């Protein structure tokens, strides 16, 4: 029984590598740096692709910022809903593949992906923003050939104009 439960957990954390980055959380200080670079105002909305355990969504809620996160791992979605129940007015977490989802309107995006997904993401953002200005924070990974507007210790801000 324990072996089966363990196998399911390993499977849930493992299969995501075919669709994006495996689970690895961003640290508190880096999240603070990301929000400093983003300069979002209370009432604005952040979209997070691959929201992990929900810590970025919670950091947004604490700043009065609404957020929508997509997460492929049902255990992490469940954990986010449970752990941040008190912030439910601000946080929406959706179980699903962010590549296939219809992204809701938002003012900015936070991602922690992998090198090989950055060009694809850039193309999707260009379509999604439909000419409107938009901010992207990428933790650790740069968009090939695109100018970084600001950065702080491995956090990159791209400002689409
Ligand atoms: C590197 S972790 C980052 C977690 C969180 N964003 C953070 O910074 O703490 C990437 C997360 O994206 C999720 N993920 C990967 N591919 C995905 C996809 N196509 N759709 C939704 N979630 C995905 C993984 O399950 C994992 O939780």
- Structure confidence by residue, pLDDT tens digits, 55-64: 999 999 999 9
By DSSP bridging, strand 150-152 and strand 155-160 are antiparallel
- Structure confidence by residue, pLDDT tens digits, 24-59: 999 999 999 999 999 999 999 999 999 999 999 999
- With vertex at residue 22, the alpha carbon angle to CA 19 and CA 24, rounded to the nearest 5 degrees, is 145
Does the beta carbon of 99 sit less than 6 angstroms from any atom of ligand 1? Answer: yes
Provide the domain limits for residue 58. Answer: 2-160
Q: String of b and e for 36-66 (b: at least 16 CB within 10 Å)? A: ebbebeeebbbbbbbbbbbbbbbbbbebebb
What is the structure's pLDDT at 17? 78
Does the beta carbon of 52 sit less than 6 angstroms from any atom of ligand 1? Answer: yes
pTM of the model: 0.95
Report the number of distinct structural domains present in the chain. Answer: 1
Written as tens digits, the pLDDT of the chain (161 aa) is 878 787 777 777 777 777 888 999 999 999 999 999 999 999 999 999 999 999 999 999 999 999 999 999 999 999 999 999 999 999 999 999 999 999 999 999 999 999 999 999 999 999 999 999 999 999 999 999 999 999 999 999 999 99
CB 57 within 8 A of CB 91: yes
CB 109 within 8 A of CB 134: yes
Q: What CATH number corresponds to the domain at position 118?
A: 3.40.50.150
What is the structure's pLDDT at 8? 79
Going from the Cα of 21 to the center of ligand 1, the distance in angstroms, rounded, reads: 6
Going from the Cα of 57 to the center of ligand 1, the distance in angstroms, rounded, reads: 13
Going from the Cα of 68 to the center of ligand 1, the distance in angstroms, rounded, reads: 13
CB 127 within 8 A of CB 102: no
**CB count in 10 Å sphere of residue 104:** 11
The span from the CA of 4 to the CA of 10, in Å, is 10
Query: Which token pair is 131?
Result: 């000419």
What is the structure's pLDDT at 2? 79
Going from the Cα of 147 to the center of ligand 1, the distance in angstroms, rounded, reads: 24
């Amino acid at each position: 029984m324990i072996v089966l439960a363990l196998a399911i957990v390993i499977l849930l954390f493992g299969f995501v590598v075919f669709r994006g980055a495996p689970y690895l959380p961003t640290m508190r200080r880096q999240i603070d740096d990301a929000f400093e670079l983003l300069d979002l105002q209370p009432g604005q909305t952040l979209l997070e692709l691959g929201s992990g355990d929900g810590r970025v969504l919670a950091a947004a809620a604490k700043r009065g910022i609404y957020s929508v996160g997509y997460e492929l791992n049902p255990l992490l979605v469940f954990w986010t809903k449970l752990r941040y129940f008190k912030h439910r007015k601000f946080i929406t977490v959706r179980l699903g593949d962010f590549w296939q989802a219809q992204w809701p309107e938002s003012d900015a995006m936070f991602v922690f992906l992998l090198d090989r997904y950055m060009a694809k993401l850039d193309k999707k953002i260009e379509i999604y923003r439909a000419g409107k200005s938009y901010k992207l924070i990428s933790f650790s990974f740069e968009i090939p050939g695109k100018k970084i507007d600001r950065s702080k210790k491995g956090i990159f801000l791209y400002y689409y104009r």
